[in-house]
Every structure is written in structure tokens, then in C-alpha cells.
Amino acid sequence: MPMSKAGPTMTATPRDYNISVLDSALRILQTFLMPGRTEQSLSDISQALSLNKSRTFRILATLEQHGFVEQDHRTRNYRLGLRLLELGGAVHRRLDLVQVARPILDELAEASGEAIFLGVPDGLEAVCVDKRESRHPIRLYGEVGRRSSLHVGGVPKVLLAYMVEEDPCVLERIALPKITPASVTDRTELAQLLASIRQDGYVVTLDDLDWGAHSVAAPVRDHTGRVVAAVSIAGPSERFTLDRVTQYVALIQRAGEELSARLGYRFPALEQSA
């Protein structure tokens, strides 16, 4: 999994990008976490945050429209909406993924000796949610939480392949910067590559994210069959001989299948034989 690129400026702080109305909306949601404030009136919220009543009402109306708050039409008080439960469930599933994947990543690291990465999609980026370091002195580095473009690298490409299957317009929305001379930036060529990934069930990458780095990656499915993550073995290209790549492809596919099974996915062949 790659190290992420620097943001817009090296000296910028989060406050430099603060959006006032969004900041107020998030602060309003956080007031419901205070003791005794599971339901609040417009005045309660306005006074707690020293916000203008009219502004507070408009923000609450917008949050209600999107299901983040609900209003009791009898008392006129507000409470948190069920949409937040969905978001919390998404976070919980991600945490479950990391926990379930832990022994599988350990086994992969032991079997290959190389760096192991587990990544998930987040908008139009891939995010590393867990990793294992290589036991070799020369290794690839990447940190949990680092983000990368979807068109380069093993984990990102696998994620993009199945995102495009669900929504073909995704390919038109992502930027395709040329990270290295080997990065694929032609959308037609990339679409063909993504189709091959879906057909083969894995990808082998070389030099397209970090020059001199090689990786193999495979998808991870949840109980519905949807690809929710990808796992990879990555390291310096000189160690990825043809024989080792063949071995690593088998390892990564097996790991992807095992993790998918632990997340509740039933493979078609298993269903037919049941």
C-alpha cells in the first residue's frame, strides 16, 4: 500500500479548510452525545452552541431531510436519526473486517516473508486499514490510514475493478495521474485491465505506483457477495521472480477466499454442492 502524497500545502492545518456551516452541523450532532440530551428543543441546541436560532433551525431541517436527525411532531424536540445508525454500522463492519483478517494476514506474512496490506474503498480512494511488515531488510513501507489513488497498486486496482462493475461511471470520475512511467492513465486501457481482474480474480502489478515495487492482490467479499476490501502481498521487484509470483498468486487468492468465507460469503461452488 503506498504512502500518500502531500496535501494542497505543507503548512496548511485542518482549520484552514473549515466550512462554517458544516462545522456547525457536526457540532449540533455532537450535542446529542451530552448526558441528558438525547432529545433537545431548538432553543436547547441554539443556546448550547451559542448559535443563531434561525441558523440552527435551517441546519436541523437539512439534517432531518437526510435522516441524521428526527423531530418529534408532538413535542417538537429533535433526536438523532436512523441514518447515523447505518453509518455506525459501516464503521463497525470495518472494525470487524480488521479483527477477522488478523490471523489471515499473519499467515500470509509468515508464508511469503513480504509486506501484507489490507485496504478498503473510501470514496474515490483506497485506504490501508491493516498491514504486516516484511521480514527482509529491504522492504516496502506504508502506514495504516494512508490513502492512494484507485488506478495504481494492487489493492486499489482490485477495489476499483469491482466498484466499476457496480457503477461504470466511477471510472469517469476518478483522476488518473501518472504516478510512475508505468501507471495506466488511459481510461480504455484501464477498463480492459479492470475487466481482466474481475475475470481472473486477482491482479499482478509492477512499477505502476512505486518504481521497483511489485504486488499481487485479490478481492474480499462480505456475506452479500459484494467486494468490500482487497488484500495484497507486496515487495521489491527483484524478489518477485516468476516462480514466487505464481506462489504468491495462489497464496493471495486463498487468503481472499478464506477471509470472504469468514465474513459470511458462500462461494457458488459450495452452494451447488450443499
Q: What Rg do the C-alpha atoms of the chain give, in angstroms?
A: 22
Q: How confident is the model at residue 161 (pLDDT cuts 50, 70, 90)?
A: very high
Structural domains of the chain, count: 2
What is the CATH number for 130? Answer: 3.30.450.40
Largest CA distance in the chain: 70
Q: In the listed set 29, 57, 81, which residue is the last one of a domain according to the structure? A: 81
Q: Is 4 inside any structural domain?
A: no
Whether residue 129 is found in the same domain as residue 40: no
- Torsion angle of alpha carbons 18, 20, 26, 32, nearest 10°? 140
Q: Determine the pLDDT at residue 25.
A: 94
Cell numbers standing for residue 210: 512505486
First-last CA distance in the chain: 37
Q: Is the pLDDT of residue 98 over 80?
A: yes
If asked whether residues 62 and 99 sit together in one domain, one would say no
How far apart CA 200 and CA 198 sit, in angstroms, is 6
Cell of 223: 456475506
**C-alpha span between 96 and 272 (Å, rounded):** 28
Which residue, 57, 81, 105, sits at the end of a domain? 81
Residue 52 to residue 121: CA distance in whole angstroms: 38
Instruction: State the pLDDT confidence band at 35, using cuts at 50, 70 and 90.
Output: confident
Question: Which tens digits make up the pLDDT trace of 208-235?
Answer: 777 778 899 999 999 889 999 999 999 8
Residue 104 lies in a domain: yes
For residue 2, being part of any structural domain is answered with no
Contact status, residue 147 vs residue 117, Cβ threshold 8 Å: no
Give counts: helices (H), strands (E), the chain. Answer: 9, 9
pLDDT at res. 111 = 94
pTM of this prediction exceeds 0.75: no
Same domain, 108 and 200: yes
Give the containing element (helix H, strand E) for 271: helix 268-273
Residue 5 domain-assigned? no
How many other C-beta atoms can be found within 10 angstroms of the C-beta atom of residue 28? 22
Q: Are residues 98 and 24 in the same domain?
A: no
Question: In Å, how far are 26, 38, 83 from 76, measured between CA atoms?
Answer: 21, 13, 19
CATH code, 68: 1.10.10.10
State residue 271's pLDDT score. 44
Q: Are residues 115 and 207 in the same domain?
A: yes
The answer to whether residues 68 and 121 belong to one domain is: no
Residue 120 near residue 108 (C-beta atoms within 8 A): no
Domain interval for residue 266: 90-273
pLDDT of residue 139 exceeding 70? no
One domain for residues 111 and 43: no
**Residue 267 domain flag:** yes
Q: How many CB atoms lie within 10 A of CB 165?
A: 14
Query: Which has more pLDDT, 99 or 143?
Result: 99
pLDDT at position 150 over 70: yes
The overall average pLDDT reported for the chain is 86
Are both 22 and 135 inside the same structural domain? Answer: no
116 shares its domain with 157: yes
- Single out the residue in 37, 60, 81 at which a domain terminates: 81
Q: Is residue 3 part of a domain?
A: no
Residues 227 and 121 in one domain: yes
118 and 72 share one domain = no
Directed axis angle between helix 187-200 and helix 154-166, to 10°?
90
